[in-house]
Amino acid sequence: MDVEKFTDDIYAIAQRLSEGQTDEAKSKINYVRERLIELYTQNLVKINHSVLEIICASNLISQGYSVDIERHLSDNLVCDVFATKGDGMFIMEIETGFTPPDHALDTIDYYVARIASKIARYSKYCSKFALATPVVGILPIPKLFLKPPSERSTNELKKIKTLCDRFYKNPPIDSDDILNARLHSIYLINIDKGFAKQLDPCSYLELTERLQEKSELDL
């Protein structure tokens, strides 16, 4: 653990993100900065993920949100970015495409299941739920989540439930959570330039669908 190096890096990115912001926004970004340093000293975060979190936090702060990082939603569920504005709650989960060595031979299924499980588990805790990813990656989002719950077929639900059950057993993903899950937006993170851009899920699918088809992803 190199607290000095982590602190220097987080201060540097926070300073870049604060340029041109209001005093109130700068104060909110500084809160996120200090929160990440605190979490790092507890060995709860790493620098690469922390940079992604503060970039996403800055985007929401510029929209008038108050933001917290690594917020506990339940005893066993922690979200990356938790934001509030008025009565609304916004949760964002950041995905980089990492899969553990245990799933070296079923990487795609594992990743799709993780995306599905996050949408199902997290979206029930907020009025808006978003996924974010660096611009170098593609999120394999099951098409079921682009439909309203009333249009999700039994076969589609069973397919996602069966996939999630392969990887999530304790606790399992509830069928009703899959049925009612909502995905409101996708954020593309440009780390080098320090920004996150929002897309609606259908627009994101239009941009990535041909690549997914070429990769023979059955979503």
CA-to-CA distance for 136 and 159, rounded, in angstroms? 28
Q: Is the dihedral of CA 185, 120, 78, 90 positive or negative?
A: positive
In this structure, are residues 110 and 103 in contact, taking their beta carbons and an 8 Å threshold? yes
**Which pLDDT score, from 0 to 100, does residue 139 have?**
95
* Residue where the block lists tokens 């790092």: 40
Q: What contacts 23, CB < 8 A, 6 or more positions away?
A: none
Average the pLDDT over 99-120 and give the result. Answer: 95
CA-to-CA distance for 54 and 108, rounded, in angstroms? 28
Mean pLDDT of the chain: 95
- Would you place residue 106 in the very low, low, confident or very high pLDDT band (cuts 50, 70, 90)? very high
| pLDDT above 90 for 209 | no
**Which pLDDT score, from 0 to 100, does residue 214 have?**
83
Q: Which residue has the higher pLDDT, 50 or 217?
A: 50
**Which pLDDT score, from 0 to 100, does residue 177 have?**
97
In this structure, are residues 32 and 69 in contact, taking their beta carbons and an 8 Å threshold? yes
In this structure, are residues 80 and 92 in contact, taking their beta carbons and an 8 Å threshold? yes
- Would you place residue 215 in the very low, low, confident or very high pLDDT band (cuts 50, 70, 90)? confident
